[in-house]
Amino acid sequence: MSGDDWSAGTRTARSRGRRGLRVLLGVGVIGAAAALSGCSQETVGQLKRLGLPVAASDRAPSIHDLWIGSWIAAGAIGLFVWGLIIYCVVRFKRRHGGYVKQNRYNLPLEVLYTIAPFVVIGVLFYYTVLVQEHVQAKVAEPQHTIDVVGQKWSWTFNYREANNPQVGNDVWESGTIEKTPDLYLPVGQTVRFRLTSPDVIHSFWIPSFYEKMDVIPGRHNYFDVTPTRLGDYDGKCAELCGTYHSAMLFKVHIVPVAEYNEKLKELAQAGQTGVNLGNTSTTVLQPPTDTGGEG
Ligand SMILES: [Cu+2]
Protein backbone atom coordinates (compact mmCIF):
# COMPACT_ATOMS: atom_id res chain seq x y z
CA MET A 1 0.00 0.00 0.00
CA SER A 2 1.47 3.36 -1.03
CA GLY A 3 1.51 6.44 1.23
CA ASP A 4 -1.26 8.06 -0.86
CA ASP A 5 -3.54 5.03 -0.46
CA TRP A 6 -2.95 5.07 3.26
CA SER A 7 -3.81 8.77 3.73
CA ALA A 8 -6.88 8.41 1.48
CA GLY A 9 -7.93 5.46 3.65
CA THR A 10 -7.61 7.43 6.90
CA ARG A 11 -9.53 10.36 5.35
CA THR A 12 -12.43 8.03 4.41
CA ALA A 13 -12.37 6.47 7.87
CA ARG A 14 -12.35 9.91 9.49
CA SER A 15 -15.28 11.23 7.40
CA ARG A 16 -17.18 8.00 8.11
CA GLY A 17 -16.49 8.55 11.81
CA ARG A 18 -17.77 12.14 11.60
CA ARG A 19 -20.93 11.01 9.80
CA GLY A 20 -21.46 8.38 12.50
CA LEU A 21 -21.07 11.03 15.19
CA ARG A 22 -23.60 13.32 13.44
CA VAL A 23 -26.12 10.48 13.15
CA LEU A 24 -25.60 9.64 16.83
CA LEU A 25 -26.08 13.31 17.82
CA GLY A 26 -29.23 13.54 15.66
CA VAL A 27 -30.70 10.41 17.24
CA GLY A 28 -29.82 11.77 20.69
CA VAL A 29 -31.50 15.15 20.07
CA ILE A 30 -34.63 13.55 18.57
CA GLY A 31 -34.75 11.02 21.41
CA ALA A 32 -34.43 13.73 24.08
CA ALA A 33 -37.11 15.85 22.37
CA ALA A 34 -39.44 12.85 22.14
CA ALA A 35 -38.80 11.94 25.78
CA LEU A 36 -39.45 15.52 26.95
CA SER A 37 -42.58 15.96 24.79
CA GLY A 38 -43.94 12.79 26.42
CA CYS A 39 -43.40 14.33 29.85
CA SER A 40 -46.29 15.87 31.72
CA GLN A 41 -46.28 19.57 32.56
CA GLU A 42 -45.59 18.49 36.13
CA THR A 43 -42.43 16.55 35.19
CA VAL A 44 -41.13 19.43 33.07
CA GLY A 45 -41.75 21.80 36.01
CA GLN A 46 -39.90 19.44 38.33
CA LEU A 47 -36.98 19.25 35.89
CA LYS A 48 -36.85 23.07 35.86
CA ARG A 49 -36.72 23.03 39.67
CA LEU A 50 -33.85 20.51 39.40
CA GLY A 51 -35.84 17.73 41.04
CA LEU A 52 -37.78 19.67 43.68
CA PRO A 53 -41.51 18.95 43.90
CA VAL A 54 -43.95 21.85 43.57
CA ALA A 55 -43.63 24.28 46.51
CA ALA A 56 -46.57 24.48 48.91
CA SER A 57 -45.43 26.62 51.85
CA ASP A 58 -44.25 30.16 52.57
CA ARG A 59 -40.85 28.80 53.64
CA ALA A 60 -40.23 26.75 50.50
CA PRO A 61 -39.17 29.53 48.05
CA SER A 62 -36.03 30.42 50.03
CA ILE A 63 -34.96 26.74 50.07
CA HIS A 64 -35.72 26.58 46.34
CA ASP A 65 -33.41 29.55 45.75
CA LEU A 66 -30.65 28.00 47.87
CA TRP A 67 -31.01 24.71 45.96
CA ILE A 68 -30.86 26.35 42.53
CA GLY A 69 -28.08 28.73 43.63
CA SER A 70 -26.00 25.81 44.93
CA TRP A 71 -26.36 23.99 41.61
CA ILE A 72 -25.38 27.11 39.66
CA ALA A 73 -22.31 27.57 41.88
CA ALA A 74 -21.42 23.86 41.60
CA GLY A 75 -21.94 24.01 37.81
CA ALA A 76 -19.71 27.09 37.43
CA ILE A 77 -16.96 25.53 39.55
CA GLY A 78 -17.36 22.22 37.71
CA LEU A 79 -17.04 23.91 34.30
CA PHE A 80 -13.98 25.84 35.48
CA VAL A 81 -12.28 22.68 36.80
CA TRP A 82 -13.19 20.59 33.74
CA GLY A 83 -11.94 23.45 31.55
CA LEU A 84 -8.59 23.45 33.36
CA ILE A 85 -8.33 19.65 33.09
CA ILE A 86 -9.09 19.66 29.35
CA TYR A 87 -6.72 22.60 28.81
CA CYS A 88 -3.90 20.76 30.60
CA VAL A 89 -4.59 17.49 28.78
CA VAL A 90 -4.48 19.18 25.37
CA ARG A 91 -1.86 21.86 26.00
CA PHE A 92 0.62 19.68 27.86
CA LYS A 93 0.15 16.43 25.99
CA ARG A 94 3.34 14.42 26.21
CA ARG A 95 5.39 15.04 23.09
CA HIS A 96 8.78 13.79 21.96
CA GLY A 97 9.06 11.57 25.01
CA GLY A 98 9.66 14.42 27.49
CA TYR A 99 7.73 15.63 30.53
CA VAL A 100 6.54 19.21 30.94
CA LYS A 101 7.84 21.20 33.88
CA GLN A 102 6.49 19.82 37.18
CA ASN A 103 5.08 22.17 39.81
CA ARG A 104 5.33 20.14 43.01
CA TYR A 105 5.96 22.07 46.23
CA ASN A 106 4.85 25.31 44.60
CA LEU A 107 3.80 27.24 47.70
CA PRO A 108 1.57 29.93 46.09
CA LEU A 109 -0.35 27.21 44.20
CA GLU A 110 -0.79 25.10 47.33
CA VAL A 111 -2.03 28.11 49.30
CA LEU A 112 -4.53 28.78 46.50
CA TYR A 113 -5.70 25.13 46.55
CA THR A 114 -6.25 25.41 50.30
CA ILE A 115 -8.02 28.76 50.35
CA ALA A 116 -10.31 28.27 47.32
CA PRO A 117 -12.35 25.38 48.86
CA PHE A 118 -12.76 27.36 52.09
CA VAL A 119 -14.14 30.31 50.12
CA VAL A 120 -16.61 27.97 48.35
CA ILE A 121 -17.69 26.34 51.63
CA GLY A 122 -17.87 29.75 53.35
CA VAL A 123 -20.25 31.17 50.73
CA LEU A 124 -22.48 28.05 50.85
CA PHE A 125 -22.43 28.14 54.67
CA TYR A 126 -23.40 31.83 54.75
CA TYR A 127 -26.43 31.36 52.51
CA THR A 128 -27.43 28.13 54.28
CA VAL A 129 -27.50 29.93 57.64
CA LEU A 130 -29.57 32.79 56.16
CA VAL A 131 -32.12 30.36 54.69
CA GLN A 132 -32.21 28.24 57.86
CA GLU A 133 -32.96 31.34 59.96
CA HIS A 134 -35.85 32.18 57.65
CA VAL A 135 -37.22 28.63 57.50
CA GLN A 136 -37.10 28.12 61.27
CA ALA A 137 -38.41 31.58 62.19
CA LYS A 138 -41.27 31.25 64.69
CA VAL A 139 -44.61 32.96 64.36
CA ALA A 140 -45.68 34.96 67.45
CA GLU A 141 -49.27 33.67 67.49
CA PRO A 142 -49.82 30.68 65.18
CA GLN A 143 -53.47 30.41 64.12
CA HIS A 144 -53.46 26.61 64.37
CA THR A 145 -51.45 24.11 66.36
CA ILE A 146 -51.17 20.46 65.37
CA ASP A 147 -49.50 17.97 67.68
CA VAL A 148 -47.96 15.29 65.52
CA VAL A 149 -47.17 11.91 67.04
CA GLY A 150 -44.84 9.71 65.04
CA GLN A 151 -45.14 6.13 66.21
CA LYS A 152 -44.14 2.76 64.80
CA TRP A 153 -45.41 2.81 62.04
CA SER A 154 -47.86 5.57 61.39
CA TRP A 155 -48.89 9.07 62.43
CA THR A 156 -51.42 10.64 64.76
CA PHE A 157 -52.47 14.25 64.14
CA ASN A 158 -53.97 16.20 67.04
CA TYR A 159 -55.67 19.40 65.93
CA ARG A 160 -55.64 21.69 68.97
CA GLU A 161 -58.80 23.57 68.00
CA ALA A 162 -60.62 23.81 71.36
CA ASN A 163 -60.44 27.61 71.06
CA ASN A 164 -61.60 27.65 67.44
CA PRO A 165 -65.34 28.54 67.63
CA GLN A 166 -65.88 26.75 64.31
CA VAL A 167 -64.70 23.45 65.81
CA GLY A 168 -64.81 23.87 69.59
CA ASN A 169 -62.82 20.72 70.33
CA ASP A 170 -59.40 19.22 70.16
CA VAL A 171 -59.77 16.47 67.56
CA TRP A 172 -57.46 13.81 66.22
CA GLU A 173 -56.90 11.38 63.41
CA SER A 174 -54.67 8.35 63.70
CA GLY A 175 -53.35 6.01 61.03
CA THR A 176 -52.01 2.49 60.96
CA ILE A 177 -49.67 0.84 58.51
CA GLU A 178 -52.72 -0.44 56.65
CA LYS A 179 -54.62 2.87 56.75
CA THR A 180 -52.71 5.96 55.68
CA PRO A 181 -53.89 8.94 57.76
CA ASP A 182 -54.94 12.28 56.24
CA LEU A 183 -53.57 15.62 57.40
CA TYR A 184 -55.76 18.63 56.61
CA LEU A 185 -54.19 22.09 56.53
CA PRO A 186 -55.86 25.49 56.02
CA VAL A 187 -54.41 27.46 53.11
CA GLY A 188 -52.93 30.86 53.95
CA GLN A 189 -53.02 30.42 57.74
CA THR A 190 -50.10 29.89 60.10
CA VAL A 191 -49.73 26.39 61.48
CA ARG A 192 -47.43 25.21 64.25
CA PHE A 193 -46.40 21.54 64.18
CA ARG A 194 -45.29 20.13 67.53
CA LEU A 195 -43.61 16.77 67.16
CA THR A 196 -43.39 13.90 69.65
CA SER A 197 -42.72 10.18 69.57
CA PRO A 198 -43.54 7.44 72.09
CA ASP A 199 -40.98 4.99 70.72
CA VAL A 200 -38.06 5.70 68.37
CA ILE A 201 -36.82 8.61 66.26
CA HIS A 202 -38.95 9.41 63.21
CA SER A 203 -38.83 12.38 60.87
CA PHE A 204 -41.87 14.40 59.82
CA TRP A 205 -41.52 15.24 56.15
CA ILE A 206 -43.83 16.93 53.66
CA PRO A 207 -41.59 17.05 50.55
CA SER A 208 -43.51 20.01 49.07
CA PHE A 209 -42.59 22.09 52.14
CA TYR A 210 -38.91 21.46 51.30
CA GLU A 211 -38.16 20.86 54.97
CA LYS A 212 -38.41 18.08 57.51
CA MET A 213 -37.84 17.75 61.22
CA ASP A 214 -36.87 14.86 63.47
CA VAL A 215 -39.49 13.46 65.85
CA ILE A 216 -37.52 12.46 68.93
CA PRO A 217 -38.81 10.63 72.05
CA GLY A 218 -38.60 12.92 75.08
CA ARG A 219 -38.16 16.08 73.02
CA HIS A 220 -40.65 18.61 71.69
CA ASN A 221 -39.40 19.80 68.33
CA TYR A 222 -41.64 22.27 66.58
CA PHE A 223 -41.79 24.43 63.48
CA ASP A 224 -44.16 26.98 61.97
CA VAL A 225 -45.30 27.17 58.39
CA THR A 226 -48.04 28.70 56.24
CA PRO A 227 -49.42 26.36 53.55
CA THR A 228 -49.72 28.45 50.40
CA ARG A 229 -51.01 26.19 47.65
CA LEU A 230 -54.26 24.21 47.53
CA GLY A 231 -53.91 20.55 46.62
CA ASP A 232 -53.01 17.05 47.77
CA TYR A 233 -49.44 16.23 48.70
CA ASP A 234 -47.41 13.33 50.02
CA GLY A 235 -46.09 13.04 53.53
CA LYS A 236 -43.67 10.48 54.88
CA CYS A 237 -41.26 9.44 57.59
CA ALA A 238 -37.71 10.36 56.62
CA GLU A 239 -35.86 8.50 59.37
CA LEU A 240 -35.31 4.76 59.13
CA CYS A 241 -37.37 3.65 62.13
CA GLY A 242 -37.85 -0.09 61.83
CA THR A 243 -39.45 -2.87 59.83
CA TYR A 244 -42.33 -0.90 58.30
CA HIS A 245 -40.65 2.49 58.05
CA SER A 246 -41.51 2.56 54.34
CA ALA A 247 -45.22 2.23 55.17
CA MET A 248 -45.13 5.31 57.42
CA LEU A 249 -46.89 7.57 54.94
CA PHE A 250 -49.63 10.18 55.15
CA LYS A 251 -51.66 12.30 52.77
CA VAL A 252 -51.62 16.08 53.07
CA HIS A 253 -54.64 18.07 51.90
CA ILE A 254 -54.24 21.85 51.77
CA VAL A 255 -57.80 23.15 51.67
CA PRO A 256 -59.74 26.42 52.13
CA VAL A 257 -60.29 27.33 55.79
CA ALA A 258 -64.03 26.52 55.68
CA GLU A 259 -63.30 23.02 54.39
CA TYR A 260 -60.60 22.59 57.03
CA ASN A 261 -63.12 23.40 59.77
CA GLU A 262 -65.65 21.03 58.18
CA LYS A 263 -63.16 18.14 58.16
CA LEU A 264 -62.33 18.73 61.82
CA LYS A 265 -66.03 18.81 62.71
CA GLU A 266 -66.40 15.42 61.01
CA LEU A 267 -63.63 14.07 63.26
CA ALA A 268 -65.45 15.48 66.31
CA GLN A 269 -68.71 13.88 65.16
CA ALA A 270 -66.88 10.56 64.82
CA GLY A 271 -65.97 10.86 68.50
CA GLN A 272 -62.29 11.55 67.87
CA THR A 273 -62.08 14.36 70.40
CA GLY A 274 -59.46 15.11 73.02
CA VAL A 275 -55.78 14.38 72.64
CA ASN A 276 -54.42 11.10 71.34
CA LEU A 277 -50.75 10.75 72.18
CA GLY A 278 -50.44 7.72 69.97
CA ASN A 279 -49.12 4.33 70.75
CA THR A 280 -46.75 1.93 69.17
CA SER A 281 -48.90 0.24 66.57
CA THR A 282 -49.67 -3.38 67.31
CA THR A 283 -50.91 -3.89 63.77
CA VAL A 284 -48.63 -6.17 61.84
CA LEU A 285 -48.88 -6.66 58.12
CA GLN A 286 -49.59 -10.28 57.24
CA PRO A 287 -46.92 -11.97 55.15
CA PRO A 288 -48.14 -12.63 51.60
CA THR A 289 -50.28 -15.77 51.60
CA ASP A 290 -49.34 -18.71 49.43
CA THR A 291 -51.82 -18.69 46.59
CA GLY A 292 -51.19 -22.38 46.03
CA GLY A 293 -51.32 -23.96 42.60
CA GLU A 294 -49.15 -26.52 40.99
CA GLY A 295 -45.61 -26.05 39.71
CU1 LIG B 1 -40.75 6.51 61.17
In this model, does residue 102 exceed pLDDT 50? yes
Query: How many whole angstroms from 201 Cα to the centroid of ligand 1?
Result: 7
**Per-domain boundaries in the chain:** 25-54, 56-137, 144-269
Please tell me which residue, 74 or 8, carries the higher pLDDT value: 74
Question: In this predicted model, what pLDDT tens digit does every residue of 212-244 receive, in sequence order?
Answer: 999 999 888 999 999 999 999 999 999 999 999
Architecture, CATH, for domain 144-269: Sandwich (2.60)
Query: How many whole angstroms from 197 Cα to the centroid of ligand 1?
Result: 9
In this model, does residue 12 exceed pLDDT 70? no
Nearby residues of 137 by Cβ (< 8 Å), 6 or more positions away: 224
Q: What is the pLDDT of residue 278?
A: 75
Lowest mean pLDDT among 86-95, 110-119, 231-240: 86-95
Q: ipTM exceeding 0.85?
A: yes
Count other Cβ atoms within 10 Å, centred on residue 36. 11
Query: How many whole angstroms from 198 Cα to the centroid of ligand 1?
Result: 11
Query: How many whole angstroms from 116 Cα to the centroid of ligand 1?
Result: 40
Question: In this predicted model, what pLDDT tens digit does every residue of 146-198 receive, in sequence order?
Answer: 999 999 999 999 999 999 999 899 999 999 888 999 999 999 999 999 999 99
- 56-137 CATH fold: Helix Hairpins (1.10.287)
- Quick check: 181 and 175 in contact, CB under 8 A? yes
In this model, does residue 284 exceed pLDDT 90? no
* Closest residue by Cα to residue 248 from 174, 147, 158: 174
